[in-house]
Amino acid sequence: MHKVHKIALDPNDRQATALARAAGCARFAYNWALARWNELYEAHKADPSQPKPNQLALRRELNAIKRERFPWMLDVTKCAPQEAVINLGKAFANFFAGRAKRPVFKKRGIHDSFKCSAGTFKVFENRIQLPVIGTLRMREPLRHPDAKLVSVTVSRTADRWFASIAVEVPNDAPASPPDGGTIGVDAGTREFVLSNGERHEVPRALRKAQRQLRRAQKALSRRKRGSRNREKARRRVARIHARAANVRADWLHKLSDRLTKTFSIVGVETLNVRGMVKNRHLSKSIMDAAFAEFRRQCDYKAAWRGGRIVVAGTFFPSSKICSACGAKTKRLPLGRRSWVCESCGTRHDRDLNAAINLEQLAVSSTVPACGEFFASGVSGSPDTPCGLDEAGTKHRCA
C-alpha cells in the first residue's frame, strides 16, 4: 500500500524561486492540456472519426512542440509538465466516473504544485534532492526511511513549501480489529463528545485563529483592489488559514488515531452539506471543515487497522432521540444544552445523548452483500451505488 508523508521544506531564496517556476510550469502545462482536450473533444463530437482526447497523446504532443513554442519549459524538471498532464488525465477519469466535477483551469497562487516520479528524486535523512532544483532541507526525516519511493508532490500553502512523499509500504492491517467495541462521536463546534462520556475540547489556538481570521478578512475587504496593501492583507489571511488548518489537523490526527486504535466501530453523523453552504459564518465553516477532515482521517485509519466507520443518514435525529427509551422529542432548540425526556423522565446532556445514539446506531448496523454499512432508517454514505430501497428498510442488494 502507499502512504504519504508531508514534510515542510526550508528552501533558500534561489530554491524557492526554482520551486515556484516548476509549479508555474506545471500549471501552464495543465491549462494548455485542458484547452487542447476541450478542442479535441469538440472536434471528435463534430466528426467521430477524429480521435478522442487522452493524456498520453497530449503528453506526446506537448513534448513535440515544447522546444519550439515553450522553450522556458526546458529550464525546469521535465517531470513538472509531464506529471501535470497525467494529473489532468486522472481528473477527467474521476469526472467520467462521477467522482468529481469537470476539471477547470488552474489559477496562479492557488494550489501551486508539481510532481516528480520515482527515480528522479532522492531522500537522505533530512534532505531531499529534486531534479534541476538541487538539495533542499526538510523539517523532519521521512517516517519510512527504507521504504521504496513512489513519487513526490511539492506544493505551496500560504508562503511555505511542502514535499508530500509517497512510499510503498507493506500492508500491515491486523488480522482482527481493535477490541474496544463501539464508540459514538458527536462533533460540535466547541467540543467533540464521545459516547463513553469523554469530552475533547476544540483547541484554544483554533478558536483564536477563527477570531483572527474574521478580523483579517474584514481588513482585506477594505483594501483597494490591486494595491500592495491588499496583497499584504491577502497573505495574512492565507497564513492564518494555513495555521488554523495545521492546528486542526494535528488535533484531529491525535483524536482519530486514538479512536481507530481503540474501537472497532466508530459511529458519526453525516456531514450536513446543505447546512454548510447556507452558513456564511467563518468560524463555523472552519469547524465544518474540521468535521469533514475528521471523517476522512477516521475512514482511512480504520481501514488500516481493520475497524470501520458507520455514518448516520442525513435525517437521523441523533439529538432528539432519547437514548434511554428511544422516544423522540418534538422540539429541541439549538441553544438548549440539556433536556428531559417526556416519556421516561431521563435528563440528557444534549451532546452526550447524541453520541450515545450514534453508538447504538453503529452497534445495530449490519453489512449487506455490497459491503456498504447501513442500519434501519439509515443509509450508508450518500454516494453508494447500492443504497436503501424505497421503503428505506433494507439495502437494494439484500
| Residues binding Zn ion (CB under 5 A) | 322, 324-325, 327, 341, 343-344, 346
Shortest gap between Cβ of 329 and Zn ion (angstroms)?
Answer: 9
**Whole-number Å distance between alpha carbons of 136 and 133:** 8
User: Which member of 83, 112, 288, 351 is catalytic?
Assistant: 351
Q: Do 350 and 334 meet the contact criterion of CB atoms below 8 Å apart? A: no
Residue closer to Zn ion (CB basis): 176 or 343: 343
User: Which member of 112, 269, 359, 372 is catalytic?
Assistant: 269
> Phi/psi of residue 380, each to 5°?
-75, -155
User: Which member of 186, 288, 359, 372 is catalytic?
Assistant: 186
Our answer to whether residue 112 is catalytic in this structure is no
Residue type, 180: G
Shortest gap between Cβ of 344 and Zn ion (angstroms)?
Answer: 3
Residue closer to Zn ion (CB basis): 271 or 355: 355
C-alpha cell at 271: 456531514
Q: Could you tell me which of 381, 315, 311, 325 has the C-alpha nearest to residue 353?
A: 325
Shortest gap between Cβ of 326 and Zn ion (angstroms)?
Answer: 7
Our answer to whether residue 186 is catalytic in this structure is yes
**What does the H/E/C string look like for 320-360?**
CECCCCCCECCCCCCCCCEEECCCCCCEEEHHHHHHHHHHH
| Half-sphere exposure for 39 (CA within 13 Å, toward CB) | 7
Other CB atoms within 10 A of residue 112 CB? 20
Residue closer to Zn ion (CB basis): 322 or 388: 322
Shortest gap between Cβ of 376 and Zn ion (angstroms)?
Answer: 19
Our answer to whether residue 288 is catalytic in this structure is no
Residue closer to Zn ion (CB basis): 123 or 341: 341
Residue closer to Zn ion (CB basis): 221 or 343: 343
Shortest gap between Cβ of 184 and Zn ion (angstroms)?
Answer: 17
> What are the residues facing 395 on neighbouring strands?
388
Give catalytic residue positions. Answer: 186, 269, 351
